[in-house]
Amino acid sequence: MTGHPSNMPGLLVGGNTFADDATLVAGVDRFGGGFAADDLHALGGWLADEEAIVLGVDANRFPPELRSHDRWGRRIDVVDFHPAYHALMERSVGAGVHSLPWEDGAPEGAHVARAAAMHLISRNEQGHGCPISMTYAVAPALRANGDAFAEWLPRFTTRAYDPSFKPADRKSGALFGMAMTERQGGSDVRANLTTATPAGGDAYRIDGHKYFCSAPMNDAFLVLAQAPGGLTCFLLPRWTPDGEVNGFRIERLKDKLGNRSNASSEVSFDEAWAVRIGDEGRGVPTIIEMVNATRLDCVIGSTAIVREAVAQAVHHTRNRATFGRTLADHPLMGNVLADLVIESEAMLWSMLRLAATFDRPEEDPLRRILTPLWKFWVTKRCPIVTGEALECLGGLGYVEESPMPRLLRESPLNAIWEGSGNVIALDTLRALKTSPGSADALVAELEWSSGRHELLDPAIERAKDLLADGGPRDEARARRLVRDLALTAQAAVLVREAEEAVADAFVRSRLTDGHGGVLGTLSPDLDLEAVAALAPAR
- Euclidean distance between the first and the last CA atom of the chain, given in angstroms as a whole number: 32
Say if CB 428 and CB 373 are below 8 A apart: yes
Say if CB 79 and CB 65 are below 8 A apart: yes
Q: Please give the Cα distance from 365 to 279 (Å, whole number).
A: 24
β pairing state of 203-213 and 75-80 = unpaired
Question: Is 41 strand, coil or helix?
Answer: helix
- Residues whose CB falls within 8 Å of the CB of residue 431, separated by 6 or more in sequence, listed in order: 368, 369, 372, 438
Give the Cβ contact number of residue 140 at 10 Å: 18
Q: Please give the Cα distance from 236 to 200 (Å, whole number).
A: 15
Which of 439-461 are b and which e, b meaning 16 or more Cβ less than 10 Å from the residue's Cβ?
bebbeebbeebeebbeebeebbe
Whole-model pTM: value is 0.97
Q: Please give the Cα distance from 406 to 256 (Å, whole number).
A: 12
**Which string of DSSP letters, residue by residue, matches 344-362?**
HHHHHHHHHHHHHHHH-GG
Say if CB 277 and CB 286 are below 8 A apart: yes
Say if CB 175 and CB 98 are below 8 A apart: yes
β pairing state of 230-237 and 248-253 = unpaired
Phi, psi of 385 (to 5 degrees): -70, -40
Domains of the chain: 22-281 (2.40.110.20), 285-532 (1.20.140.10)
Q: Please give the Cα distance from 300 to 277 (Å, whole number).
A: 27
Tell me which residue of 152, 159, 180, 154 sits closest to 238, measured CA to CA. 152
Q: Please give the Cα distance from 161 to 174 (Å, whole number).
A: 8
Q: Please give the Cα distance from 471 to 435 (Å, whole number).
A: 12
Phi, psi of 414 (to 5 degrees): -70, -20
Q: What's the pLDDT at 4? A: 63
Say if CB 284 and CB 222 are below 8 A apart: no
Q: Please give the Cα distance from 222 to 276 (Å, whole number).
A: 10
CA 42 to chain CA centroid, Å, is 22
Q: What's the pLDDT at 2? A: 55
190 CB-contact burial (10 Å; exposed 0-12 / middle 13-18 / buried 19+): exposed
Say if CB 377 and CB 90 are below 8 A apart: no
Say if CB 124 and CB 251 are below 8 A apart: no
207 CB-contact burial (10 Å; exposed 0-12 / middle 13-18 / buried 19+): middle
β pairing state of 176-179 and 220-227 = parallel
Give the Cβ contact number of residue 324 at 10 Å: 6
pLDDT tens-place values along the chain, 538 residues long:
456 678 889 899 999 999 999 999 999 999 999 999 999 999 999 999 999 999 999 999 999 999 999 999 999 999 999 999 999 999 999 999 999 999 999 999 999 999 999 999 999 999 999 999 999 999 999 999 999 999 999 999 999 999 999 999 999 999 999 999 999 888 888 889 999 999 999 999 999 999 999 889 999 999 999 999 999 999 999 999 999 999 999 999 999 999 999 999 999 999 999 999 999 999 999 999 999 999 999 999 999 999 999 999 999 999 999 999 999 999 999 999 999 999 999 999 999 999 999 999 999 999 999 999 999 999 999 999 999 999 999 999 999 999 999 999 999 999 999 889 999 999 999 999 888 899 999 999 999 999 999 999 999 999 999 898 766 778 888 999 999 999 999 999 999 999 999 999 999 999 986 677 799 999 999 999 999 999 987 8
Q: Please give the Cα distance from 300 to 294 (Å, whole number).
A: 10
